[in-house]
Amino acid sequence: MRASIIIPSWNARERLYLNLVALNNQDYQGDDVEIIVVDNGSNDRTMDMLNDFKARFPMRVIRLEENRGIARGRNQGILEAQGDILIFHDSDMIASRDFVSKHIQAHEKEDGLVVCGLFWKRIYSYFYKRFSLEQMARFERITGNVREPGNPPQDRTPLISEADVLDESYMKYSFDLDLPFIVDLKQVLKKYGSSLEGYNLPWRFFITNNLSAPRDRVLGVGMFDEGIVRYGYEDYDLGIRLFKDGCRFVMAEDIMSCHQEHPANFTWVDVVENVTYICEKYNHIYFLDMQMVCLQEALKTDSGRINLVAGDINRLLPEKESHQILRVFLELLNIIRKSRYKPYKGPSPETILGVADNIPLIIRQTREWIDAGKAIHFVGMLRDLLKMALNIELGPRIGLNI
């Protein structure tokens, strides 16, 4: 089975070098692997390093003079790829020796599989003066290296060596990133296992620093959305389309790749702009799961509840008589998003009247669902959205106490 490793890179020359060293160290013995590096408008002499690097696998380099987003960079690699499977691997990663072989083996067992490798391992491979306060505090905690005032390390000081990469001793310096979404995904794994069987939101594991998917399926759903130019969410966007297209997702914790910490290249504005873009793109009842995941913080709820609501929605979607209530649910999500992420004077009178006109239908239908023990989680969320978006209290009217 042929495999193409897609590596977009932007001003990451020293980290990309360690990435390529690790790929030279793979235990895979086949001759059907290629590396495609997309230099996404770097100005740090990345091309000089790539021109001098002696890669073990055939390596092609695509130079884009202008960085118009990582989605475009990855797509250029996909279009050039000749592999049956695409292994997405960011420039900042250091792959374990069995990284390539395990990705390929997983796809040999089943067609239409999306293999999500372990993506939360981190390492300080270089010291950067532009680390955030949080990164600096973690650096000092992890390394025990408390900097003396007036005597900081030089920028881009190496903290691990090429030899550390080759013998994999760098792993003793690695740590798990403990962001809330990662803690949450670990809990999902404990509950649903690596097969994610029964989990309604497996595309949340679609993190493109360590992931593989069939090339024909990626092409079939339109590749990455190049309209997503700012940092983040281009992976979720492709992941949910692959999921809706029928791909099965698995989490392979034994496929290891370690992310090299570096100064953040995103801002809160990126998050706001991309959430807005995604929600407006998927403004349809078929994608209510994406809407809820993107708005989790604004909804003041947890992902476990969103998963249960998504399960109810999946069971309601085949019933056309449920679609009007689902559309009201979507309208309420739109109101909440706009009130949080954009200057907003509140819903228009037409929007309010549109929801109000559906209140009798909502009361009648949700009572029937509750009496039948059906869509309980969805009804509870609908009740909360009505209260949150329009201050409409329906709990007592529909007999729901959860």
Alpha carbons 348 and 134: distance in angstroms, whole number = 41
Q: Is the pLDDT of residue 280 over 50?
A: yes
- What is the model's pLDDT at position 401? 60
What's the rounded Cα separation, in Å, for the pair 161 and 165?
A: 7
Element (H, E) at 296: helix 296-299
Mean per-residue pLDDT, 113-129: 95
Give me the mean pLDDT over the 267-290 stretch. Answer: 90
d(CA 307, CA 263): 33
DSSP conformational letter for 261: P
Q: Which region holds residue 174: left if phi is over 0, alpha if psi is between -120 and 50, else beta?
A: beta
Helix (H) or strand (E) holding 175, with range, is strand 175-176
Q: Spell out the domain ranges in the chain.
A: 3-124+160-268, 126-157, 282-398
What is the pLDDT averaged over residues 10-17?
A: 97
162-197: per-residue pLDDT in tens?
999 999 999 999 999 988 999 999 999 999 999 999
What's the pLDDT at 344? 77
SS3 for 300-362, per residue?
Answer: CCCHHHHHHHHHHHHHHCCCHHHHHHHHHHHHHHHHHHHHHHCCCCCCCHHHHHHHHHCHHHH
pTM: 0.93
Fold adopted by 3-124+160-268 = Spore Coat Polysaccharide Biosynthesis Protein SpsA; Chain A (3.90.550)
Please determine, for residue 272, whether its predicted confidence score (pLDDT) is greater than 90: no
Q: How confident is the model at residue 149 (pLDDT cuts 50, 70, 90)?
A: very low
Residue 34 per-residue DSSP state: E
CB 6 within 8 A of CB 39: no
Name the token pair of 357: 């006109």
Split at pLDDT 50, 70, 90, the class of 343 is confident
CA angle, 170 then 194 then 186, to 5°: 65
Cα dihedral sign, 39-40-41-45: negative
Asked if 15 contacts 92 with a C-beta cutoff of 8 angstroms, the reply is: yes
Residue 342 in this model has a pLDDT that exceeds 70: no
Task: Return d(Cα 347, Cα 338) in angstroms, integer.
Answer: 9
The pLDDT of residue 144 is 75
Specify burial of residue 321 (Cβ count, 10 A radius: 0-12, 13-18, 19+): exposed
DSSP 114-160: EEEEE--EEE--EE-TT--HHHHHHHHHHH--PPBTTBPPPTTEESS
What integer pLDDT is reported at residue 146 of this predicted model? 54
- CA 346 to CA 366: how far, in whole Å? 26
CA distance 89 to 96: 12
